[in-house]
Amino acid sequence: ALAKALNVIGLMNIQFAVQGENVFILEANPRASRTVPFVSKAIGTPLAKMASRVMSGKKLEELGFVEEQIPDHVSVKEAVLPFAKFPGTDTILGPEMRSTGEAMGIDVDFGKAFAKAQLSAGQKLPLEGTVFVSMSDRHKEAVVPVVKDLIELGLKVIATEGTRKVLCLHGLDVALMLKLHEGRPNVLDGIKNGEIQLIITTPSGEEARADGIKIRRSSLDYKVPLITTIAGAKATAAAIRALKSEVLEVKAMQDYY
């Protein structure tokens, strides 16, 4: 409907913003985007070629491309970010474009596909060691099943006081880690000393903002994987489970179609 309203024939790039039940259109551009080659590889169809033929007058019916293509495998796209080149920059993401590239992982299993995408983007997920968890109030309950999975996978979990309290109420064995202003050794000491192998944290209020920036920056400087969303935490747990249970299989893309 939007393409018809804008009289666009061919590919169109739309940027959406979603807040609760509301969906907003930030912009619509009559051009391709970096999503096109990703989707083309995911479904095995050259979308740019299809679009160029449509722009030259062909109909989708003539090209035999009228039904949604749902592959049997899972494709995961991961952003490659430039923060390591800019010392002192906060790594938290917003609506603006910050990525300078993308990596892709494909497998029949989501956990494996996510693991491949992370490895391709230069982020190595830990199979052992310690996970630091510090969540905003609205995410404390949501992270409980993730922490349970990580403990079952043999990782040790440490958390700040508020997060630890919620996790312990659910019967999880979680050690206490001090915040920056609470004394030492604190989370920054743990990162710098190589005692923390994975960080899961979601942005909190203004009081904790300065601590969050330092933690996120230190994770980058010391190459500790950082997860800042619940969805990312769930995917990471699935990837670690896949990596611990099986060896990743490498196949040609053509073998998936």
DSSP-assigned states of every residue in 144-210: HHHHHHHHHTT-EEEE-HHHHHHHHHTT---EE-B-GGG-SSBHHHHHHTT--SEEEE----HHHHH
- What pLDDT was estimated at residue 133? 95
Exposed/middle/buried for residue 69 (C-beta within 10 Å: 0-12, 13-18, 19+): exposed
Is pLDDT at 209 greater than 80 in this prediction? no
pTM of the model: 0.85
Contact indicator for 200, 132 with CB cutoff of 8 Å: yes
pLDDT digits 0-9 by tens, 46-91: 999 999 999 999 999 999 998 988 999 999 999 887 666 656 666 6
How much is the pLDDT for 171?
94
Q: Is the pLDDT of residue 160 over 80?
A: yes
Write down the H helix ranges in the chain.
2-5, 35-43, 47-55, 60-63, 110-120, 144-152, 161-169, 187-192, 206-221, 230-245
What is the predicted pLDDT for the residue at 183?
82
CA–CA distance, 109 with 239 (Å, rounded to integer): 9
Domains of the chain: residue spans and CATH: 2-63 (no CATH), 125-245 (3.40.50.1380)
Q: What is the reported pLDDT for 96?
A: 66
Mean pLDDT of the chain: 88
Q: What would the pLDDT profile of 81-138 be if each residue is shown by its tens digit?
A: 766 665 666 666 666 666 778 899 999 999 999 999 999 988 899 999 999 999 989 9
